[in-house]
A and B are shown apart, each in its own frame.
Chain A
Amino acid sequence: GAGVSQSPSNKVTEKGKDVELRCDPISGHTALYWYRQSLGQGLEFLIYFQGNSAPDKSGLPSDRFSAERTGGSVSTLTIQRTQQEDSAVYLCASSLEGATNEKLFFGSGTQLSVL
């Protein structure tokens, strides 16, 4: 596609419910990244997929957070038993090969609100 696509753009859920956030990377990009951005703050790295390698999960804040990437393309970030502190914008990005000197292309994010 023309850019990184994320859905839904907004998600409101109740505390304790599970949510799934979707990311469609740019076609042909082998690397995919998830970041979290709390209000007025910077981007916090969550997880990174590169080709068929094991994902870098070093940024996931708890075991309630998980992500999959199926068929090397679409990715789903799942948050189980959501808490109010999970409220944030979740941003997905992709890059061509996941090399160290590549820029990341970001989607517009999913605004998650946990009531």
Chain B
Amino acid sequence: GESVGLHLPTLSVQEGDNSIINCAYSNSASDYFIWYKQESGKGPQFIIDIRSNMDKRQGQRVTVLLNKTVKHLSLQIAATQPGDSAVYFCAENYNQGGKLIFGQGTELSVKP
């Protein structure tokens, strides 16, 4: 199967601070990118997406930035809350129908 990475990087932030989670994607032909949040024992939950013709997209408290030159994606979470503690995954679409290929994930831990 296709997947990226074996070990989960971690990010620890203080409640109220901003968080930045980074992701390097693999395929320069990918045209759609998406961030998911996964809490323990649950399936991944959609956060925000972006198409390759954009470099920034904002949602509620979240912003996704896309840098196609260096194949880099980031998720910014403003005023991080304890409820944001989870594993965050980026995913890309290689233009092969709806199939998403996921990155390795980053564990976000928010200290109260």
Contacts and interface: CB of A to CB of B under 8 A. Distances in A.
B104 A103 contact: no
Contact of B96 (A56, A60, A101, A102): A56
A104 B2 CA distance: 17
Point out which of B1, B7, B42, B93 has the most chain A C-beta atoms below 10 A from its C-beta.
B1
> From DSSP, what is the main secondary structure of chain B's interface residues?
loop
Contact of B34 (A59, A103, A109): A103
B41 A101 contact: no
Nearest to A50: B97
Contacts, number: 92
Contacts of A61: 1
Contact of A104 (B6, B8, B100, B103): B100
B89 A91 contact: no
Interface string A87-108: 0000101010111111111111
Interface string B78-94: 00000000000101010
Given A41-B6, A42-B104, A46-B1, A99 B46 contact: no
A43 interface: yes
A36 interface: yes
B98 A104 contact: yes
Interface in B44-75: 44-46, 49, 51
A43 B42 contact: no
Contacts of B3: 41-45
B98 A99 contact: yes
Interface of A: 4, 31, 33, 35-36, 40-46, 48, 50, 56, 58-61, 91, 93, 95, 97-109
